[in-house]
């Protein structure tokens, strides 16, 4: 950027000044039009003062106000800590093992066969992908889904969520967020000008010695109902939930559905872990409940579905009356998503559609394998006195660290820093294990109430789980009297 401005300055120097600025640091300078030594010429000191005044007068607020208060991101912070030491990383949610062969082959196919897949495709989704998503999910949602009107392909589920918030949430609108929540819902609401309204899932007491379960964490129906006002525009649901692993029951979804209908509220449902459910639990899409399709946006992710988080292919399904507004955001932002990734995802779904319901289906095999990981992790964490909350879905579990909080309350950290954050930093440094403090999944006022849990990811290779076991064994040895 380069430019020129003439201003009258708050000093005796009246002559027009030419001020030049450029984008590089220290490249702002000022020229007086009086010759050096002439009566009109100012001294260096005056010039410096004028320059300061001028800089102040010209100072513009650089970041847009919509960024206020949302500059911190837990994934950036804890990702950095994880990369700095020799640790076993059970923090961020991604598989550290190869994707299934059929997915790798589908991608290879997409990059090597049809050269036109190197080019732009349709703005709202590569047609074979929108077609298979429509037919595949149509059955689950009990709808005839039109690939052109009811499907939008996005840059990951993140892209779907961002597009939905931008399209529907207006300044002053309220968005109900169920805590603990996938952390981006709050900044996305704020960036759209909305006001997040939080309601927490509360754990029911367990019997002595019994492990807690994510199904014990429930919404208080009266409290939930009290959050709906005439300004409520949307409610965001996440089932199976990250970080808790809760799979919402039909009765819980019916409660949410009836309140959304009663108050004319849109439900944005993030179902990226829908295939990862355990112990015979069943994932139910809220859009399949009576009267809900018309007011629901269902978000999915190929990254979570086929263990390929780097592909960043996501989608959102919903009625045309809602999706048309998301298309407006999409066509004026990313316009369309990378073609080859979409072609690969289409091929993966085509295969899964043929195998669906059979034991060889990936959607049948993956949860079985990952349930084994979950159970392995539960046993290992218990061995050092951590108390995992058994998740019924997703690839995360949270674990209760209250015993540590009472035994070692004074871990290093800022006085107002929630205990779980201090504990995770201590654990990374002293035990070589990375987890995520659960308070990052809560609104600021509720953080202190839930600062005695940390989240682990069990979508990890056997070798990573064994490395975790070794770290935990050393920890256990230290604990022995």
CB of 30 to ligand PLP, least distance (A): 48
- Taking the C-alpha atoms of residue 183 and residue 192, their distance in angstroms, rounded to an integer, is 15
CB of 11 to ligand PLP, least distance (A): 55
CB of 208 to ligand PLP, least distance (A): 33
- Of 394 and 399, nearer to ligand PLP (C-beta) is 394
CB of 118 to ligand PLP, least distance (A): 23
- Of 309 and 382, nearer to ligand PLP (C-beta) is 309
CB of 314 to ligand PLP, least distance (A): 4
- Of 147 and 156, nearer to ligand PLP (C-beta) is 156
CB of 156 to ligand PLP, least distance (A): 3
Nearest to ligand PLP by Cβ — which residue?
A: 156
Which residues of this chain interact with ligand PLP, rule CB under 6 A? 93, 156-158, 182, 238, 242, 270, 272, 301, 303, 309, 314
- Of 182 and 458, nearer to ligand PLP (C-beta) is 182
- Of 319 and 341, nearer to ligand PLP (C-beta) is 341
Residue 359 sits at φ, ψ, to 5 deg, of -60, -25
- Of 29 and 97, nearer to ligand PLP (C-beta) is 97
CB of 303 to ligand PLP, least distance (A): 4
- Of 178 and 257, nearer to ligand PLP (C-beta) is 178
- Of 293 and 395, nearer to ligand PLP (C-beta) is 395
- Taking the C-alpha atoms of residue 142 and residue 474, their distance in angstroms, rounded to an integer, is 52
- What Cα–Cα distance (Å) separates residue 282 from each residue in 273, 296, 382? 12, 20, 27
Contact 420, 438 (CB under 8 A): yes
Q: How many Cα atoms within 13 Å fall on the side-chain side of residue 104? A: 5
- Of 185 and 404, nearer to ligand PLP (C-beta) is 185
- Taking the C-alpha atoms of residue 359 and residue 328, their distance in angstroms, rounded to an integer, is 41
CB of 32 to ligand PLP, least distance (A): 55
CB of 300 to ligand PLP, least distance (A): 8
């Amino acid at each position: 950027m380069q430019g020129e401005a003439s201003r009258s300055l708050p000093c005796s120097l009246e002559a027009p000044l030419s001020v030049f600025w450029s984008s590089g640091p220290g490249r702002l300078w000022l020229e007086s039009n009086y010759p050096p030594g002439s009566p009109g010429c100012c001294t260096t000191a005056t010039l410096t003062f004028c320059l300061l005044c001028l800089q102040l007068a010209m100072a513009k607020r650089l970041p847009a106000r919509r960024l206020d208060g949302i500059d911190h991101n837990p994934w950036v912070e804890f990702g950095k800590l994880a990369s700095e030491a020799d640790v076993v990383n059970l923090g961020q949610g991604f598989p550290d093992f190869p994707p299934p062969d059929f997915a790798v082959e589908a991608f290879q196919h997409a990059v090597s066969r049809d050269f036109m897949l190197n080019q732009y495709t349709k703005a709202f989704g590569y047609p074979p992908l929108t077609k298979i998503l429509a037919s595949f999910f149509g059955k689950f949602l009990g709808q005839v889904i039109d690939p052109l009107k009811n499907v939008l392909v996005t840059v990951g589920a993140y892209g779907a969520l961002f597009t939905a918030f931008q399209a529907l949430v207006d300044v002053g609108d309220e968005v109900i967020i169920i805590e603990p929540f996938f952390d981006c819902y709050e900044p996305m609401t704020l960036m759209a000008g909305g006001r997040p309204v939080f309601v927490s899932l509360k754990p029911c007491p367990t019997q002595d010695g019994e492990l807690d379960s994510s199904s014990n964490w429930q919404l208080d129906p009266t409290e939930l109902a009290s959050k709906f006002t005439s300004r409520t525009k949307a409610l965001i649901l996440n089932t199976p939930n990250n970080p808790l692993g809760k799979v919402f029951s039909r009765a819980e979804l019916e409660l949410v559905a009836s309140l959304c209908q009663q108050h004319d509220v849109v439900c944005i449902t993030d179902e990226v872990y829908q295939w990862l459910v355990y112990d015979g639990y069943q994932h139910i899409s809220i859009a399949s409940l009576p009267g809900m399709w018309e007011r629901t946006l269902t978000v999915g992710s190929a990254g979570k579905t086929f263990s390929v988080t780097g592909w960043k292919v996501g989608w959102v399904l919903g009625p045309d009356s809602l999706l048309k507004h998301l298309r407006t955001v999409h066509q004026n932002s990313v316009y369309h998503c990378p073609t080859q990734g979409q072609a690969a995802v289409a091929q993966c779904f085509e295969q899964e559609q043929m195998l669906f319901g059979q034991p060889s289906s990936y959607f049948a095999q993956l949860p079985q394998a990952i349930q084994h990981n979950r159970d392995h992790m539960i046993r290992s964490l218990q061995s050092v006195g951590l108390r995992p909350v058994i998740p019924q879905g997703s690839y995360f579990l949270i674990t209760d660290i209250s015993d540590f909080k009472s035994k070692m309350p004074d871990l290093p950290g800022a006085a107002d820093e929630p205990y779980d954050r201090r504990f995770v930093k201590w654990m990374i440094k002293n035990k070589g294990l990375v987890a995520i403090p659960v308070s990052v999944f809560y609104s600021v006022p509720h953080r202190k109430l839930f600062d005695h849990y940390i989240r682990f990811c069990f979508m990890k290779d056997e070798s990573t789980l064994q490395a975790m076991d070794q770290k935990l064994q050393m920890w256990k040895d230290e604990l022995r009297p």
